[in-house]
Amino acid sequence: MIADIKAVAARSSKTLFEDMIGVVSLFAVLVMGLSLPALF
């Protein structure tokens, strides 16, 4: 199981990095959207 995870991470390291950037940006948009009503 751990060997499979390491193999997948080695094959798709660029895609994994891009997915992490996407998750962080979606989380930032969510936080901004939830805090927006507090400004008005």
Q: What is the pLDDT along the chain (40 residues), one digit of tens a residue?
A: 889 888 887 888 788 889 999 999 999 999 999 998 887 7
Which pLDDT value is given to residue 24? 97
3-class state of residue 34 by DSSP: helix
User: CA 21, CA 1: separation in Å to the nearest integer?
Assistant: 26
Which pLDDT value is given to residue 22? 95
Which pLDDT value is given to residue 30? 96
Q: Count of H helices and E strands in the chain?
A: 2, 0
Domain that holds residue 7: 2-39
User: CA 39, CA 33: separation in Å to the nearest integer?
Assistant: 11
Domain count, the chain: 1
Which pLDDT value is given to residue 11? 84
